[in-house]
A and B are shown apart, each in its own frame.
Chain A
């Protein structure tokens, strides 16, 4: 069976500090990978998605970046965090070549920028 791991679960970082969130998927190969953010009381905002190693599509211009160094690894980064970066960050995956494939989410990282 497939599992998705995301860490850390919670993070408190000062404004201007760097960020690195990591996500890995097990039990499948060549998945689509996604980073979402959910601000308090808000809907899910797609930040990045990837269909393969080194292939990243950005949905929202901001101070965040994503990388996919390995097939099942997806990393969300920032060089300098802003207060507005606070939120619940979710990594997700689904199968390629299947429009009926739902997204499966990791447990999320709750980021508080102080």
Chain B
């Protein structure tokens, strides 16, 4: 079964620090990956998409994809209290309409 795993527990970071989240996937046929942010009681919102090996930066967010090692990561620089949320990693496999979601990682930014 194609899976996306986020194994880290809740992450607490001081305001202004870098938050680092990791995600691994089981199928080398994976094609595209997405990071979503979900505030408590709200729906997930897309923050980053990445399709090629390497880094992709958007503001304070950087997504990293390493297809050889089958992992995707998200870095949040200069973390703010408003970044406190659950971050979901998702991957789509070639020939599949569906996204496989990880269970999410909670991030708490401490002022």
Interface residues of A (CB under 8 A from B): 32, 34, 42-44, 46, 49, 51, 59, 90, 99-100, 102-108, 110
**A108/B43 contact (C-beta < 8 A), A32-B97, A100-B49, A103-B34 known:** yes
CA distance A59 to B101 in the complex (A): 14
Verify A102–B46 contact, CB threshold 8 A. Answer: yes
Interface residues of B (CB under 8 A from A): 31-32, 34, 41-46, 49, 51, 88, 90, 92, 94, 97-99, 101-104
CA distance A49 to B100 in the complex (A): 13
Verify B102–A43 contact, CB threshold 8 A. Answer: yes
**A100/B51 contact (C-beta < 8 A), A43-B103, A44-B88 known:** yes
23 A-B contacts, Cβ less than 8 Å apart? Answer: A32-B97, A42-B103, A43-B102, A44-B44, A46-B98, A49-B97, A49-B98, A51-B97, A59-B98, A90-B44, A99-B31, A99-B32, A99-B92, A100-B32, A100-B51, A102-B34, A102-B46, A102-B49, A103-B34, A103-B99, A106-B43, A107-B42, A108-B43
